[in-house]
Amino acid sequence: MCIAFPGKIISIEDDRVAVIDISGTRREVYLDLIDEDVTVGDYVISHAGYALHKVDEETARENLSYLKTIIESEA
């Protein structure tokens, strides 16, 4: 099973690599697969080091909340 995570873009380098924040964890993701323009402050769904698509902030926060609930229930 694969899980994609929403993250907020905090910086973009060379229009190709973004640093995203996922609940306090920062990761680099490539923007090669995303077909929309993104800017700092946008939220993207990421998986395996790639941003897959842009999502609105409300959707991103809801998904992070669901993931947190799942992780806490497994502990």
- Say yes or no to pLDDT of 75 above 70: no
- Say yes or no to pLDDT of 15 above 90: no
What's the rounded mean pLDDT across residues 66-74? 85
Structure tokens given for 68: 């947190």
Strand partners, 43: 8, 55
Summarize pLDDT for 17-63 with one digit per residue, the tens. Answer: 999 999 899 999 999 999 899 999 999 999 999 999 999 999 999 98
Strand partners, 18: 12, 29
Mind listing the domains of the chain with CATH numbers?
A: 5-74 (2.30.30.140)
Structure confidence at residue 67 (pLDDT):
85
Structure confidence at residue 60 (pLDDT):
93
What's the half-sphere exposure (Cβ side, CA atoms, 13 Å) at 72? 6
Structure confidence at residue 68 (pLDDT):
87
**How many whole angstroms separate alpha carbon 35 and alpha carbon 62?**
23
